[in-house]
Chains A and B, each alone.
Chain A
């Protein structure tokens, strides 16, 4: 079945690194995504990783994928107050038709000055 799990909340001090974790169930997922949602706004695509990769780095963002454990993480280096938001991971299960994404419940990140 399709199930994406995330922890609910993360508190971090400004300047520290944040690590947001996600587990998924569909091992056939081809792409895995991270989206950011600020209050009152839509979902902003942050980054994504193809399932044959272990790591992807994009400026302050590092995505790590452990396919064996079906674990995805997003590391934000030098976290800023503007990084306070809800972060969603999502997978594209191959078992489904089309390209629909299955989202986790979101992790609310609070950055304290």
Chain B
């Protein structure tokens, strides 16, 4: 158990809908990351937060947004969902914002029908 908790584990929704994925980092970790894993794109970095502030941005679509709250948990919001958004979404956390290992949650599997 990595100590990173993601909910829900599975999510099935229709195209055009909006969903929110939630992540609680390991105790003491200040940095949270979101990754998308799909068969054709592999593991893609979406966004990183450190102590509530956005730190780095990757291949995140404009339809997607995230935030990190004062209690350090994070949410990833996906809107106007398309079939191609079906993927496994991972959250990871680390102690610092640089040079520290990332510990991953078990992911949320999103299926858009």
Q: A99-B94, A100-B56, A105-B42 are in contact. Are A45 and B101 (CB under 8 A)?
A: yes
Report which of B33, B50, B100, B107 forms a contact with A42, defined as CB distance below 8 A.
Answer: B107
Q: A99-B94, A99-B96, A105-B42 are in contact. Are A44 and B56 (CB under 8 A)?
A: no
Closest residue to A92 on the B side, CB-wise? B99
CA distance A106 to B42 in the complex (A): 8
Chain A 91-113 interface residues, beta-carbon cutoff 8 Å to B: 92, 96-103, 105-106
CA distance A103 to B97 in the complex (A): 18
Report which of A31, A42, A43, A99 forms a contact with B48, defined as CB distance below 8 A.
Answer: A99
Contact assessment for B104 and A99 in the assembled complex, using a CB-CB cutoff below 8 Å: no
Q: Does B20 contact A (CB under 8 A)?
A: no
Contact assessment for B104 and A35 in the assembled complex, using a CB-CB cutoff below 8 Å: yes
Contact assessment for A97 and B55 in the assembled complex, using a CB-CB cutoff below 8 Å: yes
Q: Does B110 contact A (CB under 8 A)?
A: no
Measured as residues with beta carbon below 8 angstroms from the partner, the interface class of chain A is 20 to 34
Do most interface residues of chain A lie in helix, strand or loop, or is the interface mixed?
loop
Closest residue to A30 on the B side, CB-wise? B99
CA distance A101 to B101 in the complex (A): 9
Contact assessment for B33 and A100 in the assembled complex, using a CB-CB cutoff below 8 Å: yes
Report which of A44, A98, A102, A106 forms a contact with B98, defined as CB distance below 8 A.
Answer: A98
Chain B 44-63 interface residues, beta-carbon cutoff 8 Å to A: 45, 48, 50, 55-56, 58
3 closest Cβ pairs, A-B complex: A98-B56, A43-B104, A42-B106
Chain B interface residues toward A at CB < 8 A: 2, 4, 31, 33, 42-43, 45, 48, 50, 55-56, 58, 90, 92, 94, 96-107
A-B contact pairs, 9 of them (CB 8 A): A30-B99, A33-B101, A42-B90, A43-B92, A45-B102, A96-B56, A100-B45, A102-B45, A106-B42
